[in-house]
Amino acid sequence: MSKPVHSGTRTLISPVRLNQPGGRRTYRIVLVLTLAVATLVFIGPLYWMATGGFKSSQELVRTPPTLVPEHPSTHAFTEAWDRLGMGQLLLNTVVYAGGALLLQLVFCVAAAYSLSKLRPILGNVILGMMLASMMIPAAALVIPQYLTVLDLPLIHVNLMNTPWVIWLPTVANAFNVFLLKRFFDSIPNELLDAASIDGAGPLRTLWSVILPLSRPILGVVSIFGLVAVWKDFLWPLITVPEHETLNVGVNTAATSMPQNTLIAGLFLASVPTIALFLVFQRNIMAGLTAGSLKG
Amino acid sequence: MTTTLTRGRPGADTVRTRTPRRGGHLRRALARNLRAHAFLIGALLCFALFTWYPMVREIVMSFQKVRYGETHWVGFDNFRQIFADPEFWPAWRNTLEFTGIALFFGFVAPFLTALVINEFRHAQSYLRILVYLPVMLPPVAGILLFKYFMDPGYGLFNQILDFLHLPTSSWLASQDTAMFSLVIVSTWANMGSATLVYLAALQSIPGELYEAAELDGAGLLRRVWHVTVPQTRLILSLMLMLQVVATMQMFTESFVLTGGGPQGSTTTVVYMLYNYAFNFDKFNTAAALGVVLLLVLGAFSALYLWLERRGGEE
């Protein structure tokens, strides 16, 4: 019952202080309070959303609100699925996100590999120009980007309402190239030399030496690539109005639906990424710190 | 260019730092470079098409106008037009208001949360998952959810305030509180990533520093101020910069929740840019506004880098 509070490394508050009787009590109280408040703030809205779909529209606006649906019904969920065309929205989003991920993996990995290990002429200039684009606020470039995809220079193709309009711009992701290059830089050149003595060309080296070593960073890049497309709003709003993403489609339909149906729809729209997160939680957490801790 | 070249692999760079004496060297170097550029070409094309070219095009466009399908140079006309727009200054004021409030909450809240979580010896990973959950929602889902909570009539927030005998608010429906309400939504949805980044930074602080500070008689707040803050200064200032740049581009929240209203009180600069282009079909005017936004945020980033470098030298 009164086990000492364990500590791994020393933090702000000393373990001695923590293990005094008063300290331990304060610690427990703060911990329980924090857990309660955090659960309420972060899970509460999600719980309300998940149960809201099971309520009737009248029950939804009742004062005080009901904690558990009185007459749970899945009607709103089936209705939301049909009226939102959720199946189609989901499929669109999966196609956009999946294709974007694939293209990003292929082209960003190839570029990072080239810049890190093959080191062509002007490589550092190119890298610098890519990194400089991180400084450009995305929303400020939306207008010329939109006009560009309406009529691609030289080949005069209109990409509007095709998946390419989502896929191709995601490849121009300086952060990906930067993360991958930094990781490849840490792979010793001796390994590559050994491969090249064995007669492996650059593609073979990339495939059988570099990539197997790079699984963690590839996981990070993949997850963030998927999530970024999933969460984007302004760009899909203007470029794929006929084949909307989940994020945009829910907003378009929001005004014309009964409340419980909309809330059921919001819940359905949230399930895929939440599930993805709970499964890959460890990789995502690791990725967040990998990207930012260069100081 | 020589610096680019001399950093290559030992076997390779001798080929090109010296003048090639035999054709074999030259040919091999050429082949090597072609191959390397072949790996680059996909990403390079995408950067060129969707970042570098639009950047140039935006600047060019902002000095042009299209009349009856013909493009004319008009000097600073577009800029004069946006500066004369009665919505221009309010849009900047709204954007700065959002950035300011969001900075206060969105910057302080994650740091404090990380600070508290880092002290716990239990439930750390649970809390970490918790704060990050909203980040994984499709933004529109989270945003629309809050529309219900913030309803002035039956909304959950007012019911809670009422229950606690506190004054209720009209949230999104009033000019005075609309922007603040958007900050609440945005902070809830986004604070998870910053919290996790700070948490990682906190965990890299060596414990001896706290011990030494404590021996010197520093209390809790002084330890935070004299150990935690300086030790995480770099990451704090970087996140501050990133957050300012992100919040200055706020669009989705007001587009979904308020449509820029009430009475234009949540129309941000990006929202105005969107309206110019997609409601009024004035792409060149929108581009001029884009250039102004680029300049402002660019100046801010440059200021940050300059301060950061000066701080590094001292």
Cα–Cα distance measured from residue B288 to residue A234, given in angstroms and rounded to the nearest whole number: 19
Q: How many domains is chain A built from?
A: 2
Chain A: give the shortest CA distance to residue B314, in Å. Answer: 17
The count of residues in chain A is 295
The count of residues in chain B is 314
B291 to chain A: which residues are within 8 Å by CB?
A: 140
Q: Select from B133, B125, B108, B251 the least CA-distant residue to B193.
A: B133
Q: Are residues A234 and A262 in the same domain?
A: yes
Q: Are residues A125 and A250 in the same domain?
A: yes
Q: Are residues A198 and A86 in the same domain?
A: yes
Chain B: give the shortest CA distance to residue A146, in Å. Answer: 9
All residues at 6 or more sequence positions from B29 whose CB lies less than 8 Å from its CB, including other chains? B15, B16, B20
- A135 domain residue, yes or no: yes
What is the sign, positive or negative, of the torsion defined by CA atoms of A249, A255, A261, A262? positive
How much is the pLDDT for A106? 93
A14 to chain B: which residues are within 8 Å by CB?
A: 210-211, 214
Q: Are residues A223 and A161 in the same domain?
A: yes
Query: Chain A within 8 Å of B237 (Cβ-Cβ)?
Result: no
Is the omega angle on the peptide bond into residue A64 within 30 degrees of 0, that is, cis? yes
- Chain A residue with minimal CA distance to B131? A42
Residue pair A12/A6 in contact (Cβ under 8 Å)? The answer is no
Of the pLDDT bands very low, low, confident and very high (cuts 50, 70, 90), residue B89 is: very high
Chain B: give the shortest CA distance to residue A277, in Å. Answer: 7
Q: Are residues A150 and A37 in the same domain?
A: no
Are A138 and B249 an interchain contact pair (Cβ–Cβ within 8 Å)? yes
Q: Output the CA–CA distances (angstroms, integers) from residue B68 to B65, B78, B277, B287, in the order listed.
A: 10, 17, 17, 19
- A167 domain residue, yes or no: yes
More confident residue, B308 or A17: B308
How much is the pLDDT for A28? 86
Evaluate if residue B135 carries a pLDDT over 50. yes
CB-nearest to A251 from B118, B200, B256 is B256
One-letter amino acid at B48 equals A
Both structure tokens of B270 = 């990006």
- A2 domain residue, yes or no: no
**How many other CB atoms are there within 10 angstroms of residue A3's CB atom?**
7
- A10 domain residue, yes or no: no
- A192 domain residue, yes or no: yes
Taking one residue from A and the other from B, the number of pairs with CB-CB distance under 8 angstroms is 307
- A256 domain residue, yes or no: yes
Both structure tokens of A291 = 């990207």
Q: Select from B252, B258, B124, B112 the least CA-distant residue to B195.
A: B112
Q: Map tokens 């293209």 to a residue.
A: A103
Output DSSP code: residue A6: P
Region B256-278 average pLDDT: 88
Both structure tokens of A6 = 């364990």
CATH of the domain at A166: 1.10.3720.10
pLDDT per 10-residue tile (average), chain A, 295 residues: 54 76 83 90 89 82 77 83 86 93 93 89 88 85 91 86 92 89 88 84 86 85 86 91 88 82 88 88 73 44
Cα–Cα distance measured from residue B275 to residue B272, given in angstroms and rounded to the nearest whole number: 5
Q: Tell me whether residue A8 is exposed, middle or buried, using C-beta atoms within 10 angstroms of its C-beta: 0 to 12, 13 to 18, 19 or more.
A: exposed
Evaluate if residue B1 carries a pLDDT over 60. no
Region B164-180 average pLDDT: 83
Cα–Cα distance measured from residue A49 to residue B147, given in angstroms and rounded to the nearest whole number: 12
Last residue of a domain, one of A76, A98, A124: A76
What's the pTM?
0.85
Q: What is the mean pLDDT of chain B?
A: 84
A111 to chain B: which residues are within 8 Å by CB?
A: 39-40, 42-44
Are B154 and A140 an interchain contact pair (Cβ–Cβ within 8 Å)? no
Last residue of a domain, one of A29, A50, A76: A76
CA A190 from chain centre, in angstroms, equals: 35
H or E element that contains A139: none
Residues 141-170 of A with CB under 8 A from B: 141-148, 152-153, 168-169
Q: Tell me whether residue A154 is exposed, middle or buried, using C-beta atoms within 10 angstroms of its C-beta: 0 to 12, 13 to 18, 19 or more.
A: exposed
Per-residue pLDDT of B6-49, as tens digits, reads 344 444 444 444 454 567 888 888 888 888 888 888 899 999 99
Q: Select from B47, B61, B273, B297 the least CA-distant residue to A135.
A: B297
CA-based end-to-end distance of chain B: 31
Q: Tell me whether residue A16 is exposed, middle or buried, using C-beta atoms within 10 angstroms of its C-beta: 0 to 12, 13 to 18, 19 or more.
A: exposed
Q: Output the CA–CA distances (angstroms, integers) from residue B78 to A48, B65, B271, B296, in the order listed.
A: 48, 8, 17, 17
Both structure tokens of B118 = 């880092």
What is the tally of helices (H) and strands (E) in chain A? Answer: 17, 0
Using H for helix, E for strand and C for coil, what is the string for chain B? CHHHHHCCCHHHHHHHHCCCCCHHHHHHHHHHHHHHHHHHHHHHHHHHHHHHHHHHHHHHHHCEEEECCEEEECCCHHHHHHHHCCCHHHHHHHHHHHHHHHHHHHHHHHHHHHHHHHHCCCCHHHHHHHHHHHHHCCHHHHHHHHHHHCCCCCCHHHHHHHHCCCCCCCHHHCCCCHHHHHHHHHHHHHHHHHHHHHHHHHHCCCHHHHHHHHHCCCCHHHHHHHHHHHHCHHHHHHHHHHHHHHHCCCCHHHHHHCCCCCCCCCCCHHHHHHHHHHHCCCHHHHHHHHHHHHHHHHHHHHHHHHHHHHHHHC
Chain B: give the shortest CA distance to residue A74, in Å. Answer: 19
Output DSSP code: residue A53: T
Residue pair B155/B148 in contact (Cβ under 8 Å)? The answer is yes
Of the pLDDT bands very low, low, confident and very high (cuts 50, 70, 90), residue B150 is: confident
All residues at 6 or more sequence positions from A133 whose CB lies less than 8 Å from its CB, including other chains? A172, A174, B47, B51, B52, B55
Q: Are residues A162 and A279 in the same domain?
A: yes
CB-nearest to B36 from A118, A133, A259 is A118
Are A270 and B138 an interchain contact pair (Cβ–Cβ within 8 Å)? yes
- Chain A residue with minimal CA distance to B210? A12
Output DSSP code: residue A115: I
H or E element that contains A97: helix A86-113
Chain B: give the shortest CA distance to residue A212, in Å. Answer: 18
Chain A: give the shortest CA distance to residue B135, in Å. Answer: 9
All residues at 6 or more sequence positions from A92 whose CB lies less than 8 Å from its CB, including other chains? A240, A243, A244, A245, A246, A249
Is the omega angle on the peptide bond into residue B262 within 30 degrees of 0, that is, cis? yes
How much is the pLDDT for A281? 83
Query: Chain B within 8 Å of A194 (Cβ-Cβ)?
Result: no
Residue pair A56/B145 in contact (Cβ under 8 Å)? The answer is no
Q: Are residues A186 and A48 in the same domain?
A: no
CB-nearest to B193 from A63, A262, A288 is A288
Both structure tokens of B77 = 């006309």
Query: Chain A within 8 Å of B92 (Cβ-Cβ)?
Result: no
Last residue of a domain, one of A76, A99, A116: A76
Query: Chain A within 8 Å of B119 (Cβ-Cβ)?
Result: yes
Q: Are residues A118 and A253 in the same domain?
A: yes
- Chain B residue with minimal CA distance to A125? B4
Q: Output the CA–CA distances (angstroms, integers) from residue B163 to A65, B24, B160, B261, in the order listed.
A: 12, 85, 5, 29
Structural domain for A46, as ranges:
15-76
Cα–Cα distance measured from residue A169 to residue A247, given in angstroms and rounded to the nearest whole number: 18
Are B51 and A136 an interchain contact pair (Cβ–Cβ within 8 Å)? yes
Are A292 and B156 an interchain contact pair (Cβ–Cβ within 8 Å)? no
Q: Output the CA–CA distances (angstroms, integers) from residue A90 to A111, A268, B177, in the order listed.
A: 31, 10, 35
Q: Are residues A56 and A146 in the same domain?
A: no
Evaluate if residue B125 carries a pLDDT over 90. no
How much is the pLDDT for A262? 87
Q: Are residues A63 and A91 in the same domain?
A: no
Both structure tokens of B279 = 């409601």
Q: Are residues A70 and A155 in the same domain?
A: no
The CATH code of the domain at B81-313 is 1.10.3720.10
Give residue A283's region: left, alpha or beta (phi > 0; psi -120 to 50).
alpha
Q: Are residues A240 and A195 in the same domain?
A: yes
- A7 domain residue, yes or no: no
- A6 domain residue, yes or no: no
Are A247 and B293 an interchain contact pair (Cβ–Cβ within 8 Å)? no
A293 to chain B: which residues are within 8 Å by CB?
A: 197, 200-201, 204, 235
Evaluate if residue B177 carries a pLDDT over 60. yes
B64-67 and B70-73 beta bridge pairing: antiparallel
